[in-house]
Structure 1
Amino acid sequence: MHSNWRCDNCGDVPPFHVAEHINAEIVGAVLRESESSADRMPLWGPWPLPSGWTVTGVGWAGDDRSGVRATALACSGPEPLGGGPADLVFIAEQPGVGLGTRFAGIPGIDPGYLLSGTLAGHGVSSGPHAKIKVGGHLTPLWCVKSPEDRSAYVSEAKGIWLYAVAWPASAGYLLAEHVVLHDLSEGVPPELVFGAPSPYLHGGA
């Protein structure tokens, strides 16, 4: 007997928790949970928020034994091309968690094989597809093959995986604009705007 959660496809994985509501107090509670872990995880959020966008959810993966091993922040706003609704989820995770690949809709636990192009049909070109500022550093993002209803980008920041997953797929064009990710564990801007809970963070992926 053991306390690990088990995925039929990936094996043992840490459980994923999602706050039912979202506001500054709930973000603070998630950050305190992360700070209690041996390795504090960043909680990446766009700041300043793109025009018309709000923060719509927060989640984390881990348990009392392993601590927080991944964080996720959802944002919603107007789709940059068509103007309809769009959603973005930013994920920071340690190796071996599998949260980012779940939301991206790609196989496996870690995306390294995608970035190296070792799996036929899933490889990526050598050059990055977007660049955003993450924690004060210009960071390249690579688009990986994902289901047609979304676009998924992968990188590394602070030595761990960074994912940005967008619905619909065209919402990924937002990352071609001036997006800056701020680690909310270093301070939550009091002007941060919150919206209705994201359906994607609550199991809609």
Structure 2
Amino acid sequence: MRGEPSCPKCGGRVRAPGLFADSWQCAVHGAVHPVQPVVPPSVDSIAVVVHHTQVPVWMPWPLPVGWLFTGIAYAGDDRTGGRATAVACSGPGPLGGTSELILIAEEIGVGLGARYAGIDGPDPGPYMTVEKPAEAKVLAVGRPTPLWHVSGTPGDRAVFAGEAGGLWLWAVVWPEQAGLLMYEELVLTDLRDAGAEIELLPCGALSRRLLQP
């Protein structure tokens, strides 16, 4: 994902709009919203995404003790605006060691969340059993938001998904055991609404998970 726009669904190269197509094109998936190159985590990188996006930019806020912001990405372009965002954080895991969390907000069909989840996309619906009670819950801008376990994912991660404000909300956690984080009812803030306190955000090294799930 670093260096040039890529396909949100497979990470492959995309072709810019031109004479024969008015949208970005992936050779495998056709028209897509391109994932823009990822830059090192900073307050400035958040400002760029917030300026472009049409969807929330979710982050646990305040961050859990010892946790750091480790990167941000978005899918979209200057013409359409951001149609998906991904925010990465890392810190001490509930069972020891280091855990990583990526929160994705996206419109239906974009496919970025499914890519980080490691499943065939583009959406989580077929992989969730919403007839059963949700396994996790977050507070998204003060609203209780149920998240269901997403099945069929690789064994190295835990994945949860639900709906917030008519958009998909994904939470992807590494390692799988760190999925216990999602049972603590994280408080999520949309960084589009953040104030001056964002200047105090602790930043770590760029997450390799954000670059290559």
* Other-structure match for 2:147: 141
* Other-structure match for 2:39: 20
In 1, the alpha carbon distance for the partners of 2:50 and 2:40 equals: 15
Tell me, yes or no, if structure 1 residue 66 matches structure 2 residue 80. Answer: yes
Q: CA deviation at 1:29?
A: 1.5
Aligned Cα RMSD in Å? 1.6
Pick one of 75, 80, 90 that aligns with 2:103. Answer: 90
Q: CA deviation at 1:179?
A: 1.0
Asked if 2 retains the 8 angstrom alpha-carbon contact of 1:22 and 1:194, the reply is: yes
Counterparts in 2 of 1:54-203, with a 5 A limit? 54-81=68-95, 83-115=96-128, 117=129, 126-145=132-151, 146-188=153-195, 189=197, 190-203=199-212
Q: Give the residue type in structure 1 aligned to 2:86.
A: A
Kindly tell me: are residues 108 and 7 of structure 1, through their superposed partners in 2, closer, same or farther at Cα, counting changes over 3 Å? farther
Asked if 1 retains the 8 angstrom alpha-carbon contact of 2:49 and 2:82, the reply is: no
In the TM superposition, structure 1's runs of 4+ consecutive aligned residues that sit over 6 Å from their partners are: none
Deviation digits for residues 113-169 of structure 1 (CA, Å, limit 9, x no counterpart) = 223x5xxxxxx6611011111111011110111110111100111110000001111
Structure 2: gaps (5+ residues):
1-19
Structure 1: gaps (5+ residues):
35-39, 118-123
In 2, the alpha carbon distance for the partners of 1:108 and 1:178 equals: 26
Aligned residues: 190
Deviation digits for residues 56-76 of structure 1 (CA, Å, limit 9, x no counterpart) = 000000123322100110001
Tell me, yes or no, if structure 1 residue 6 matches structure 2 residue 26. Answer: yes
| TM-score, scaled relative to structure 2 | 0.84
Quick one: percent identity of the two aligned structures?
A: 45
Asked if 2 retains the 8 angstrom alpha-carbon contact of 1:74 and 1:201, the reply is: yes
Kindly tell me: are residues 125 and 177 of structure 1, through their superposed partners in 2, closer, same or farther at Cα, counting changes over 3 Å? same
